[in-house]
């Protein structure tokens, strides 16, 4: 066949920013964002984003420079997912629950030029900037995101606050010609991996990657046009798994929520007839433990991270939630593996359905390939559901790399074209993968590799257990042994008898070498800002236990 070359008509770069223009054209009069008593339409959101992008450019922000956002799930946070890159800048969302020293390091590492900061976090961001070394003579400018629900701040003298958010919107040009990417590979967003401290890992994604992961997430989750999406997942967490752009693509309605509260969530579901939401397993646990009548209409909920325990999945189903399990990383821009559900599974028992739903599943349609391999040889593990290996991925949604960290990039993005995730999994005979642990969380006891997730799954079936996490505790003879940290359903139920009962319960359901040698009952398990249990904190607690000391009770 004759070789044909690309023309200007088919060589435009892929970017999810175009979804907003289309939403304004197709769904212009439909609600786009709802927050308390505020409602915008897609025409209004499109106009506001153009005006804001215009103002960002007029401030002097150049193409490729970083603009940071420090805010919860309020309308400004949603709009900035479009407005910042429409100005040609790179969007950098920062976890609002980090401390000033960590925020300071991230701002310095990213060389952020402008920060949009929520009114409730202004003092924290100011403290972070004050920690800059004296050699930094031009700190980032601040724009204050106000909220009618909180008292206004009138004094901007402490740091260079150039304006308020609404002030920039009102001053901008609604006919602004937004900065389209020059190539598919132009940097689009910069996200820092969770747990970042002294060695920040800044994940850089391009327009093309964001486009791919957004479209694929909508298709794999079967999100229909004009869905009503409740923001229970922080948008600062991997850009809300790409759904800020996804809701524009399907003309959906974004229900913004400043802070997660189970009762408020149920009220919003009923008031706005919510159809979709996302959240970590801890969100599912909190919702399932809040006494409520079953929902009038089913709500699709997408969860990721550690596998949701079977009892939690069962309770969620009884309440009217339809749970889908996924797997993704900051490095993949969001979702890369889905537990694609098969109709014939609907006829299985509740226990069997929960077991299948706890698996991460198969690659999304936009991912080129996904596998579980021996990390040393790169050879695929047996599809027997028991041989553990490392999850590897490749495809257009994988990051460009870590900012200013070629060594870290080369370590996980190998020359053979695979991205090595560091997550340990098994591959089942039907091609569905199931995570067993992070590589650093596998417990090696007497030469045996123990999956903490397998032990946790058993612990969650105990009727008294609310949450559970298992880590390795140093042991002179075995190297390390499983140590279980457990919170209970009933307050004050924390006796030694209960701890012994839990160990005996595990003995009847697990191989001897996997049974926790230590059970620690605590009121609350430590969690990150995105709801992940912080096993590094628990490992430190396990190490601090006195030799021969089998238990502690701590409120954390």
Average pLDDT value for residue range 144-163: 69
Which of the four pLDDT bands, split at 50, 70 and 90, describes residue 355? confident
Query: Is it the case that residue 153 has pLDDT exceeding 60?
Result: no
CA distance 82 to 270: 29
With pLDDT > 70 as the criterion, what percentage of the chain qualifies?
91
What's the average model confidence in pLDDT over 21-26? 98
The three-state secondary structure class of 408 is helix
Task: Note whether 200 and 97 are within 8 A (CB).
Answer: no
Most confident residue range from 28-42, 146-160, 187-201, 283-297: 28-42
Q: Which of 38, 268, 67, 272 is nearest to 146 (CA)?
A: 38
Strand order of the sheet with strand 479-488?
465-475, 479-488, 518-522, 553-554
Classify strands 141-145 and 161-164 as parallel, antiparallel or unpaired: parallel
Q: Which of these CATH numbers, 3.40.50.300, 3.40.50.2300, 3.30.300.30, 3.30.420.10, describes 443-544?
A: 3.30.300.30
**Nearest alpha-carbon partner for 286 in 273, 271, 301:** 301
DSSP assignments along 487-498, one per residue:
EESSTT---HHH
- Residue 64: which of 197, 186, 223 has the closest Cα? 186
Q: What is the pLDDT of residues 235-264, one digit of tens each?
A: 999 999 999 999 999 999 999 999 999 999
Q: Is residue 377 very low, low, confident or very high in pLDDT (cuts 50, 70, 90)?
A: very high
pLDDT of 150 reads 65
Tokens of 305: 């991270």
* CATH placement of domain 260-438: 3.40.50.12780
- Higher-confidence residue of 94 and 99: namely 94
Give CA separation, 89 vs 17, 54, 239, 253, in Å: 13, 12, 15, 26
Residue 283 has pLDDT above 70, yes or no: yes
The DSSP bridge partners found for residue 256 are none
Collapse the DSSP code of 411 into the 3-class scheme (helix H, G, I; strand E, B; otherwise coil) and give the result: helix
Q: Which residues of 134-168 are buried (b: 16+ CB within 10 A; e: fewer)?
A: eeeeebbbbbbbbbeeeeeeeeeeebebebbbeeb
Q: Of the given ranges (59-63, 119-123, 157-161, 359-363), which has the lowest mean pLDDT?
A: 157-161
Q: How many beta carbons lie within 10 A of that of residue 112, not counting itself?
A: 22
418-459 confidence digits (pLDDT tens): 999 988 899 999 999 998 877 677 787 876 778 788 898 889
Rounded average pLDDT over 492-510: 82
| Token pair in block for residue 341 | 């559900």
Q: Which residues contact 49 (CB under 8 A, 6 or more apart)?
A: 20, 79, 82, 83, 86
Whole-number average pLDDT of the chain? 89
73: nearest Cα among 103, 30, 118: 118
- Comparing CA positions, the residue from 208, 288, 204, 214 lying closest to residue 245 is 214
pLDDT band at 106 (very low <50, low <70, confident <90, very high): very high
Res. 555 pLDDT band, cuts 50 70 90: very low
- pLDDT digit string, tens, across residues 65-91: 999 999 999 999 999 999 999 999 999
The answer on pLDDT for 318 being more than 80 is: yes
394 falls in which pLDDT band (50, 70, 90)?
very high
What are phi and psi for residue 50, nearest 5 degrees?
Answer: -65, -45
| pLDDT surpassing 90 at residue 158 | no
The alpha carbon of 192 is separated from its chain's Cα centroid by a whole number of angstroms, namely 11
- Residue 107 tokens read as 């701002």
Band (511; pLDDT cuts 50, 70, 90)? confident
* Average pLDDT rounded to a whole number, residues 87-112: 94
| Average pLDDT of the segment spanning 288-298 | 92
Fold observed for domain 16-148+165-174+181-212? Rossmann fold (3.40.50)
Query: Residue 531 has what pLDDT?
Result: 67
Residue bearing the bigger pLDDT, 365 or 531: 365
Cα distances (Å, whole numbers) of residue 3 to 6, 7, 8, 114? 10, 13, 17, 47
Residue 196 has pLDDT above 60, yes or no: no
Helices (H), 111-163: 122-130
Maximum CA extent, the chain? 79
Looking from the CA of 224 toward its CB, the CA atoms found within 13 Å total 7
Span 294-305, average pLDDT: 92
How many beta carbons lie within 10 A of that of residue 542, not counting itself? 23
Alpha-carbon Rg of the chain, whole angstroms? 24
Q: Tell me the three state secondary structure of residue 238.
A: helix
Report whether 528 contacts 534 (CB < 8 A).
Answer: yes
pLDDT of residue 210: 98
Closest CA to 398 of 234, 257, 273, 216: 216
The reported pTM is 0.84
Confidence of residue 289 (pLDDT cuts 50, 70, 90): confident
Cα-based angle 548, 437, 359 (whole degrees, multiple of 5): 130
Domain positions in the chain are: 16-148+165-174+181-212, 260-438, 443-544
Same topology, domains 260-438 and 443-544? Answer is no
- pLDDT confidence bin for 223, thresholds 50/70/90: very high
């Amino acid at each position: 066949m004759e070789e044909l070359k690309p023309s200007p008509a088919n060589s435009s770069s892929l970017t999810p920013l175009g979804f907003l223009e289309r939403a304004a054209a197709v769904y212009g009069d439909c609600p786009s964002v709802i927050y308390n008593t505020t409602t915008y339409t897609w025409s209004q959101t499109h106009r506001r984003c153009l005006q804001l992008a215009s103002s960002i450019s007029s401030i002097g922000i150049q193409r490729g420079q970083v603009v940071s956002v420090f805010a919860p799930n309020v309308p400004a946070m949603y709009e900035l997912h479009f407005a910042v890159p429409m100005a040609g800048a790179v969007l950098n969302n920062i976890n609002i629950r980090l401390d000033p020293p960590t925020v300071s390091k991230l701002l310095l590492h990213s060389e952020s030029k402008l920060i949009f900061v929520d009114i409730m976090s202004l003092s924290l961001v100011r403290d972070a900037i004050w920690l800059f070394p004296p050699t930094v003579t031009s700190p980032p400018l601040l724009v204050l995101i106000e909220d009618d629900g909180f008292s206004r701040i009138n004094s901007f003298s402490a740091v260079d606050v150039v304006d308020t958010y609404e002030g920039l919107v009102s001053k901008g040009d609604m006919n602004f010609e937004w900065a389209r990417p020059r190539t598919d590979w132009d940097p689009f967003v910069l996200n820092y991996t969770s747990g970042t401290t002294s060695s920040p890992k800044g994940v850089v994604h391009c327009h093309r990657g964001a486009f791919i992961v957004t479209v694929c997430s909508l298709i794999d989750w079967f999100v229909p046009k004009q869905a009503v999406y409740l923001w229970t997942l922080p948008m600062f967490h991997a850009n809300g798994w790409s759904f800020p752009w996804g809701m524009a693509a399907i003309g959906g309605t974004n229900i913004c929520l400043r802070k997660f509260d189970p009762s408020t969530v149920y009220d919003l579901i009923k008031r706005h007839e919510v159809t979709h939401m996302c959240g970590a397993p801890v969100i599912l646990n909190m919702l399932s433990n809040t006494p409520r009548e079953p929902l009038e209409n089913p709500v699709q909920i997408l969860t990721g991270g550690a596998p949701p325990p079977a009892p939690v999945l069962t309770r969620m189903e009884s309440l009217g939630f339809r749970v889908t399990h996924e797997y993704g990383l900051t490095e993949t821009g969001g979702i890369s593996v889905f537990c694609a559900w098969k109709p014939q599974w609907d006829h299985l028992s509740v226990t069997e359905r929960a077991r299948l739903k706890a698996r991460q599943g198969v690659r999304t349609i936009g991912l080129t390939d996904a596998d579980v391999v021996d990390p040393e040889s790169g050879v695929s593990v047996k599809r027997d559901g028991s041989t553990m290996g490392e999850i590897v991925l490749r495809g257009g949604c994988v990051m460009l790399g870590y900012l200013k960290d070629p060594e870290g990039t080369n370590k996980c993005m190998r020359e053979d074209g695979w991205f090595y995730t560091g997550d340990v999994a098994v591959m089942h005979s039907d091609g569905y993968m199931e995570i067993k642990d992070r590589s650093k969380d596998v417990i090696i006891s007497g030469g045996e590799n123990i999956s903490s997730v397998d032990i946790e799954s058993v612990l969650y079936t105990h009727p008294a257990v609310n949450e559970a996490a298992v880590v390795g505790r140093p042991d002179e003879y075995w190297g390390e042994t499983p140590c279980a940290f457990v919170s209970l359903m009933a307050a004050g139920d924390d006796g030694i008898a209960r701890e012994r009962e839990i160990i005996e319960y595990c003995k009847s359901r697990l191989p001897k070498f996997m049974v926790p040698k230590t059970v620690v009952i605590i009121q609350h398990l430590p969690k990150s800002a995105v709801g992940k249990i912080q096993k590094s904190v628990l490992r430190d607690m396990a190490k601090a236990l006195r030799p021969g000391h089998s238990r502690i009770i701590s409120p954390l």
